[in-house]
Chain A
Amino acid sequence: MNIELLTNTQVQSIDGDPGHFKAKVRQLPRYVDISKCTSCGDCEKVCPVDLKSEYDEGLATRKAIGRKYTQAIPGTYNIQKSDPAPCLLACPAGLNVQGYVQMVKMGKYQRALEIIMEDLPLPGVLGRVCPHGCEDACRRCSVDEPVAIRDLKRLAADMYDPRDIVIECLPQREETVAIVGSGPAGLSAAFFLAKKGIKSTIYEALPQAGGMLRVGIPDHRLPPEILDKEIQVVTNLGVEIKTNTPLGADLSIDDLMKDYKSVFLAIGAHKGIDMGIPGEKVNGVVQGVKFLKEVNLTGKTKVGKKVAIVGGGNVAIDVSRAAIRMGADEVTIVYRRTIKEMPAFEEEIKAAQDEGIKIRFLAAPQEVIAEDGKVVGLRCIAMEMGEADSSGRRSPIPVPGSEFEIEIDQLIPAIGQRPDLSSLENITGLEISRWSTVETNDISFATDVEGIFAGGDLQTGPWTVIGAVAQGKEVAESIERFFDGTDMVVGRDPIRYDDPQYRPVESDEPLMAREAMPELPIEQRQGSFKEVELGYNEESGKKEASRCLNCSFCCECGECVTACLAGAIDHDEVVQEKEIEIGAVILTTGTDVFEPDKLDEFYLYNQSPNVLTSLEFERILSATGPTEGHLTRPGDDKEPEKIAWLQCVGSRDTNNCNNGYCSSVCCMYAIKEAVISKEHAPAGLDCAIFNMDIRTFGKDYEKYYERSKEQGVRYVRSRVHTITEIPETGNLLLKYVTDTGEIVEEEFDMVVLSVGMEASKSAIEMAKGLEIELNDYNFVKTDEIAPVATSRPGIYVAGVMQGPKDIPYAIMEASAAACSAGKDLVEVRGTLVKEKVFPTEMDVTGEEPRVGVFVCNCGINIGGIADVPAITEYAKSLPNVVYSEENLFSCSQDTQEKIAETIKKEKLNRVVVAACSPLTHEPLFQETMKNAGLNPFLFDMANIRNQCTWVHSGEKDKATEKSKDLVRMSVARASLLEQLKYLSVGVSNPVLVVGGGVAGMTAALNLADQGFPTTLIEKSDELGGSARQIKKTWKGEDVQSFVGDLIAKVKKHDQLEVLTNSEVVDAHGFIGNFETTVKVADEDRVIEHGAVVVATGGQATDTEEYLYGKNPRVTRWHDLEANLEKYPDANSVVFIQCVGSRDDNRPYCSKICCTASIQQALEIKEKNPEANVFILHRDIRTFGDRESIYQEAREKGVLFIRYEKDKKPVVTETKDGLEVSIFDPILQREVVIEADLLNLATAIESCDNKSVSSAYKLPVNAENFIMEAHAKLRPVDCVTDGVFICGMAHYPKPIGESVAQAQAAVSRATTVLTKQTVEVEPIVSEVNTDLCIGCGLCEATCCFSAINLKPVEGQGYKAETTSALCKGCGACSVACPQQAINMKHFKHEQIIAAIRAGIAAS
């Protein structure tokens, strides 16, 4: 409760100084209310949007609503959204295209129409005639072709009658509106006005409603019954349409303004534009719009035999296709540009040509040729496209002398229309533009005359239907504001998206052809106005819809809102900007994983499905992954027989990717993946790891490596030079050269790329914004001796953001950073933390059990399968049950309050919740118990979801019966549950640090600085430990001045007592309360303390190998420095690595020797560039950015020769010095090196820790390093609570890691020392001394020394539990032959009661 989790949040800035920073953060909405969401998952089931799961590295899909992973914290669902999709932005009416396309994909046509009709009352009409600008904007264009959005809209309207969609309208207002014109603008305005509760009447000049939709578009494109149906959508809302009622002599605008409060003029643009050529008034010339109007209204008109049409727009095409249908023999369209410039829809042009219509491109009419006042021909001139003008558009220009004539008997110009303003002439104040359109405000569409609005083609000039619909909607909004007297413009500026962010289009997005639209066969079109486009069927509609890329992630279809019974979803949540005040900052943003796309040519990562990254492979191995842990390859689901791992992909590579560092973890994870793969797969799976060096330098890693070889993992020391895919099998052919120079070709089923870590772009950006220095590889720069401090005081760093490292070390750093941050703020510790207060607990001991049972429906998770009312009723019949009820969600916040109330009202003293897993939900209900004044241990859970309705979802009755059984068992156990109290033990806050090296001193200082009285004991007579022998860190920092400084600080600190020549002799007690006997000089002294930090250190071993101790030229470690002075003319220096490490005796890597030897080699080279320096090694393990000095050494001529464990170098003495002979695996022969000096990197071993480990009962591993509580997650905690470990006592490590681990140990100790008391878990063992026979089996069984035999006067020995040490595992209870030991809360009688109830018939 003292951690406030801000998810979906980014840090914008941090200002201020250590102790008082102000951070600005930006939290994106989750769109799901954390307090209401119960994680039931019902929303996820209905979400139509499939996205690649990042958690599964793209190998599986997820929904737009969901959790990152099943166990995610918080468990609240989250909706992923981005900017509005391009289709929506391209649509003048702003239709939620993605939403309805997804609904069509799901076959939910009603919902699709509901979404469409939010913005458009005419779905079937626009589904046919819309110019679909959305499709031009569709991002699928970059993959193949756009989604057929218009056709999908039509399918929705074909499959469900739009008239059956319920349109919510507000209660009707008094004010009314007159609309002049029943075209799309007028109908749309009427529709949206009706929704706002404003009644309107439409006045239509023509005998039928629909405007241009009715008279401008022929029936083969828009069947009249579709239009009729959708006009009814509008009239069904109470809109009246008065046809044959034009504005004019009988109806003036003043008449309308008398009867209505507002008038909307939407009379369209119905007047054809003349061509302006001689002869165009003769007989046989008719305007295209007029021609179409006649055809559409009457079904007949005069049609010539040879018809020419002038124009290139949709009207021209409509006219031509109508003319053919009306019986014309020959129809020619004359267009002055080329097909590329033709404004008509591409599919319409094609259909016209299919129907036999000729198009004369690049031709312009010059004169109508008439005979007897009747058209007989058209003189044209050929055109050519001229140069582009300043706007980039090319204009056609006539080709002189190219005149030609075509013989025709009818000419139909269709070059454009404009509004017919004759009916508006009398309106005073109405401003008209030079294009004969009415001028209005751009946003409100209000004219200069109050109360009069204008829209549609009348306002814009000829434009699209959807544009007119959009304006109708806007006008409705303006009219409402006009009625309300509010500003008509404010807040309505369109939102601009200059750089909209979308779901990225994957480079490997599979191609899917656009579904073809079925059409009426051409032979059936002649003489018929039957619709040509027949519409998709359901199957092709779903297929087409599935091509949508879901650019916005969530499609806002609203299905989740309907599905969420808890009402948790809120699509209107907005971004929150917050400012928080803090005293310190810790950065732990992690890294990215190297993306092998960059090296695709070589690794074929994008080309072959069977080349995976290691993280993808990790998901394949995982039980929660895409294959549920079944090892198959993604290409064909085949079980692989051979897998290759390629190491160092994106690491140790400055040629291809500039990542010169070692990623430190890849060797180990590759080995792990190989080992686990072999466990998952049938016997015989071949796992080969191709590597340059195997770097298993961490604690117990080398043993893991060796064991993997026994398990059959193959190691190939080679860099693969070519990978090719074998097309027939999908297998991969690897070519490589072995150590011996042999060229090998080997085939594998799968290749795993061991990808390294890379600084993440967002982290780099953030660090730069916060003015934090980065290193050459863009990781946060730190000093070796201050490993978690960034360049900005008060801001700390931990984990891989600082550089690649494994999990234990990241955790150590995390604790170290916590220590550093905490130390800065020590004076205000405890000032901002809160503690929860509960009501006083009622004592129910001795009362008859009164059990209340709460049965959860878990939305439909339980209730949808099992008969919850029956289970609830059944519970009432069980013994001791006095109350039962069902809940929609037992875990929701309001139910918690209800349960607490019920407990009080019904005087319940036991509670059973039949729901889900106690692992996730028991703590919540126990808190509710506490809030109701009941002891939390009087609670039990029956998991009827996971164990009944999930696993028996197909057998509803059985699921119900089993649920009853579980409830019965739970009630039986609950009736016997007892109150338990947390045992509270006082904490004493002095602290003991054992060991006075760098780790011990660092720990002691950090503790003392925080005000904890600290005793530092050191067995030798001086502080400093093994660091005293080191001159410099590998980064070059002066170690001696650092150690000297530490010693000085330690010695003068007033909270710190240093005891040299001292040793721990014995210790008693437990966390918070230790009593340690320390032998100081020859006296015993008892120290009381709350915690202890063990830092007993490590040291370099001696050796008898390689003439050490027999020849003065052979040295080890830093002895070399003295020797160099002794032999100033040494020209050949040899280092031998792994002397005593990585062998049978010490099967571990000493971690620091490779770096140390290279560091010394470089120094020798610096002093004497001519010197020959050789490093004889088994693997070079310069992990992290230490790799850079390895590279430097090679560049400077240090020679590295590898040897195998069973082919060690041999050193012999010669007259002038030494001779080292070694088998060189590259040369494949023995080489002999003459050496002046030989330096041995001998193993690092643990210092004597026997007294400490036995005093505090600390287990050590086989190599005598003290074991941590958990190798991965608790790297500084010891098995004994209250004891912490750091430095080389834990494992060999460089100074920086010792410092970090010491700080980490302090942080962990602080969590104990800052408490007044520690609470001991009450579920511990309890001995019935009457039954105990003192056999001691329990004592022998207990791993925690928590149960011991104690002499009891007159009764021999009796077992006794030390509750503070007991972990409640129950092993002693099982071991006891007398059944004298019971586990509290899991007593024999409680468990037996449950079992008895379970096997009793219900």
Chain B
Amino acid sequence: MASNEVIGSVMVVGGGIAGMQSSLDLANSGYYVYLVEESSAIGGVMAQLDKTFPTNDCTM
């Protein structure tokens, strides 16, 4: 690969709510995404929350 060739993929580091959103947007707009997560599953801290303000919606 030539060193100046632009590559159509993105690495997202961290699979919390922000990382997931970035990944989805990029994959849905024509880029291949590597989503790198340190733990065994994505979801981050938000998955630990019960309900969220201000709507009291369930987090899952």
Same complex origin of A and B:
yes
CB within 8 Å of B: which A657-706 residues: 668-669, 671-672, 675-676, 698-701, 703-704
Q: Are B53 and A20 in contact (CB under 8 A)?
A: no
User: Would you list which residues of chain B between 1 and 23 have a CB under 8 Å from chain A?
Assistant: 1, 3-23
Return the CB mask of B11-42 against A: 1 if under 8 Å, else 0: 11111111111111111111111111111111
Residues of B within 8 A of A829 (CB): 8, 29-31
In the bound complex, residues from chain A placing their C-beta under 8 Å from that of B37 are 5-9
| B23 contacts A3, C-beta separation under 8 Å | yes
Task: Let me know if A4 and B33 touch, CB within 8 A.
Answer: yes
Bound-state CA distance A1094–B15 (Å) is: 29
Give A25 to B27 CA distance when docked, in angstroms: 20
> In the complex, what's the smallest C-beta–C-beta distance from A732 to chain B, in angstroms?
23
- Determine the residue in chain B with the shortest Cβ distance to A828: B8
Q: CB distance A73 to B50 under 8 Å?
A: no
CA distance in complex: A68, B47 (Å): 10
Sorting the interface of chain A by its residue count into under 10, 10 to 19, 20 to 34 or 35 or more gives 35 or more
**B34 close to A582 (CB less than 8 A):** yes
Given known A-B contacts A8-B40, A585-B11, A828-B7, A1314 and B29 have beta carbons under 8 A apart = yes
Chain B minimum-CB-distance residue to A616: B48
User: By the criterion CB–CB under 8 Å, are B41 and A72 in contact?
Assistant: yes
Which of A10, A701, A817 has the largest number of chain B CB atoms within 10 A? A817
The 8 A CB mask of A1325-1347 against B (1 = contact, 0 = none) is 00000000000000000000000
- Once the chains are docked, how many angstroms separate the CA of A23 from the CA of B48? 30
With both chains docked as a complex, state the minimum distance between the C-beta of B51 and any C-beta of chain A, in angstroms: 6
Min distance, Cβ B31 to any Cβ of chain A, angstroms:
6
Partner among A72, A580, A582, A704 whose Cβ is within 8 Å of the Cβ of B40: A72
Main secondary structure of the interface of A (DSSP, over half): mixed
CB distance from B16 to the nearest CB of A (A): 5
B60: shortest Cβ distance to chain A, in Å? 6
A115 to B55, CA, bound (A): 53
Binds B, one of A308-316, A483-491, A536-544, A587-595: A587-595
Contacting pair A704 B25 (CB below 8 A): no
Docked-complex contact A703 and B54, CB < 8 angstroms: yes
CA A285 to CA B4, docked complex, whole Å: 89
Alpha-carbon gap, A10 to B14, bound state (A): 9
The answer to whether B39 and A821 touch across the interface, beta carbons within 8 angstroms, is no
Please name all residues of chain B whose beta carbon is closer than 8 Å to the beta carbon of A20 when the two chains form the complex. Answer: 1, 3-7
Which one of B6, B30, B35, B44 contacts A830 once the chains associate, using CB atoms below 8 Å?
B30
Q: Out of A3, A8, A78, A801, which one reaches B35, CB within 8 Å?
A: A3
Say yes or no for A1365: interface residue by CB 8 A criterion: no
B10 adjacent to A584 (CB under 8 Å):
yes
**A671 to B51 alpha-carbon distance, docked (Å):** 12
In the complex formed, the residue of A with least CB distance to B60 is A71
B23 contacts which chain A residues (CB < 8 A)? 3, 818
* Segment touching B, from A154-162, A1030-1038, A1304-1312: A1304-1312
Q: A669-B53, A672-B56, A811-B17 are in contact. Are A25 and B36 (CB under 8 A)?
A: yes
Q: What residues on B are CB-neighbors of A8 within 8 Å? A: 37-40
Other-chain residue from A30, A582, A831 in contact with B10 (beta carbon distance below 8 A): A582
Task: Pick from A25, A57, A584, A1272: contact of B55, CB below 8 A.
Answer: A1272
- The answer to whether B11 and A822 touch across the interface, beta carbons within 8 angstroms, is no
Question: Within the complex, what minimum Cβ distance (angstroms) separates B12 from chain A?
Answer: 5
Q: Are B22 and A814 in contact, with the CB atoms below 8 A?
A: yes
- Among residues 554 to 611 in chain A, which have CB atoms less than 8 Å away from a CB atom of chain B? 580-590, 593
B54 contacts across to A, CB distance below 8 A = 668, 672, 698-701, 703-704, 1271
The listed residue with most B CB atoms (<10 A of its CB), out of A2, A73, A586, A590, is: A586
A23 closest partner in B (C-beta): B11
| Distance between Cα atoms of A959 and B19 in the complex (Å) | 42
- Whether a CB of chain B sits under 8 angstroms from the CB of A74 is yes
Q: How far is the CA of A582 from the CA of B33 in the complex (A)?
A: 9
Give min CB distance, B47 to chain A, whole Å: 6
Q: Inside 8 A of A68's CB, which chain B residues have their CB? A: 39-41, 43, 47
Kindly supply a per-residue 1/0 record for chain A positions 254-294, scoring 1 wherever the CB is within 8 Å of any chain B CB and 0 otherwise: 00000000000000000000000000000000000000000
A9-B38 in contact (CB<8A):
yes
| A832-B9 contact, Cβ under 8 Å, with A72-B41, A73-B41, A704-B53 | yes
- Indicate if the CB atoms of B18 and A588 lie closer than 8 Å: yes
Hey, which chain A residues are within 8 Å of B34, CB to CB? 3-4, 6, 23, 580, 582
Q: Are B19 and A814 in contact (CB under 8 A)?
A: yes
- A1265 CB to closest chain B CB (Å) equals 13
A5, A23, A57, A619, most chain B CB atoms within 10 A: A5
Contact partners of A672 in chain B: CB under 8 A: 51-54, 56
Q: Which of B21, B42, B44 contacts A7 (CB 8 A)?
A: B42
> When each residue 770-802 of chain A gets 1 if its CB lies under 8 Å from chain B and 0 otherwise, what string results?
000000000000000000000000000011110
Structural contact, B32 and A832, CB atoms closer than 8 A? yes
Do A801 and B14 touch (CB < 8 A)? Answer: yes
A825 and B28: CB pair below 8 A? no
- Asked if A153 lies at the interface with its beta carbon under 8 angstroms from chain B, I say no
Q: Tell whether A807 is near chain B: CB-to-CB under 8 Å.
A: yes
Contact assessment for A74 and B25 in the assembled complex, using a CB-CB cutoff below 8 Å: no
Find out whether the CB atom of A822 lies under 8 angstroms from the CB atom of B31: yes
Contact present for B14 and A799 (CB under 8 Å): yes
- A590-B13 Cα distance, complex, nearest whole Å: 10
Task: Please indicate the chain B residues that have their CB under 8 angstroms from the CB of A766 in the complex.
Answer: 13
* CB under 8 Å from chain B, chain A span 796-849: 798-801, 807, 810-811, 813-815, 817-819, 821-822, 824-825, 827-834
Q: Which chain B residue has the least Cβ–Cβ distance from A813?
A: B18
Q: Hey, which chain B residues are within 8 Å of A671, CB to CB? A: 53
The yes or no answer to A528 lying at the interface (CB within 8 A) is: no
Of chain B, the residue at the smallest CB distance from A1 is B27
Contacts of A581 in B (CB 8 A): 1, 7, 9
- Asked if A640 lies at the interface with its beta carbon under 8 angstroms from chain B, I say no
Q: How far is the CA of A588 from the CA of B39 in the complex (A)?
A: 14
Closest to A623 in B: B50
Q: Is A67 an interface residue (CB 8 A)?
A: yes
Shortest beta-carbon distance, B9 to chain A, in Å?
5
Q: Is the CB of A1307 within 8 A of B25?
A: yes
Most B CB within 10 A of own CB, among A16, A583, A623: A583
Chain A residues with CB below 8 A from B5, complex form: 19-20
A1025 at the interface (CB under 8 A from B): no
B28: chain A residues within 8 A (beta carbon): 1311, 1314
A residues 64-117 in Cβ contact with B at 8 Å: 67-69, 71-74, 78, 80
Assess the B12–A586 pair: CB atoms within 8 A: yes
| B38/A72 in contact, CB under 8 A | no
A946 within 8 A of B: no
A78 touches B40 (CB 8 A): yes
Contacts of A1117 in B (CB 8 A): none
Q: How far is the CB of A943 from chain B (nearest CB, A)?
A: 18
A72 and B41 alpha carbons, distance in the complex (Å): 6
Which of chain B's residues have a CB closer than 8 A to the CB of A1311? Answer: 25, 28-29
**In the complex, chain B residues whose CB is within 8 Å of the CB of A587:** 13-14
Asked if A618 contacts B49 (CB within 8 A), the reply is: yes
Inter-subunit contact A582/B22 (CB<8 Å)? no
Q: How far is the CA of A615 from the CA of B41 in the complex (A)?
A: 19
Given A588-B19, A822-B26, A832-B9, answer yes or no on A622-B50 (Cβ-Cβ < 8 Å).
yes
Residues A57 and B31 in contact in the complex (CB < 8 Å), given A588-B13, A799-B14, A1310-B25: no
Q: Which residue of A lies closest to B57 (CB)?
A: A1272
Could you list 30 examples of A-B contacts with CB < 8 Å? Answer: A2-B31, A3-B23, A4-B33, A7-B15, A8-B40, A10-B36, A19-B6, A19-B7, A68-B41, A68-B43, A73-B42, A587-B13, A588-B18, A618-B50, A619-B50, A621-B50, A623-B50, A629-B50, A672-B53, A672-B56, A799-B18, A801-B14, A815-B21, A821-B22, A831-B8, A1271-B54, A1307-B25, A1311-B25, A1314-B29, A1314-B30
Given A74-B41, A704-B53: 17 more A-B contacts, CB < 8 Å: A2-B33, A11-B36, A20-B3, A71-B60, A589-B38, A615-B45, A618-B49, A701-B54, A800-B18, A814-B17, A818-B21, A822-B26, A825-B8, A825-B31, A828-B6, A829-B30, A1314-B29
Interface pairs A-B: 6 shortest CB-CB: A799-B18, A72-B41, A78-B40, A814-B21, A828-B8, A818-B25
